[in-house]
Amino acid sequence: MGEDGHTASLFPGEVLQEQNRWVQAYYLPAQQMHRITLTAPVINAARKIVFLVFGEKKAEALQQVLEGPYRPEHYPAQLIKPQAGEPIWLVGRAAASRLNGVR
């Protein structure tokens, strides 16, 4: 997961609304490049979904994704909800520093 709550090249924008295509290409102005991503419905159909989140700069986004209001237009990782099971979160101490109950 990125510092802005994106995951798997699912950045804020129209790609988040895609429900039919498995893959979508789009231009990401912030990085001045084209990106290709699997769409959220395809990711959610996976048997296992693992998030890797490390570094202090990701602490706020992680807290918002896991404990904040549902705002996938700002935190696209919130769209990832496996059809079967729960996602696996591998999180470093610094990234987890803002989560409730984590010391």
At 85 the pLDDT is 86
Compute the distance between CA of residue 84 and CA of residue 33 in angstroms, rounded to an integer: 34
> Mean pLDDT per 10-residue run, the chain (103 residues)?
92 88 90 92 96 97 97 96 94 96 67
* CA distance from start to end of the chain: 21
At 31 the pLDDT is 85
Q: By 3-state DSSP, what share of the chain in percent is helix, strand and coil, each rounded to 5? A: 25, 20, 50
Contacting residues for 2 by C-beta, under 8 A, at least 6 apart: 58, 61
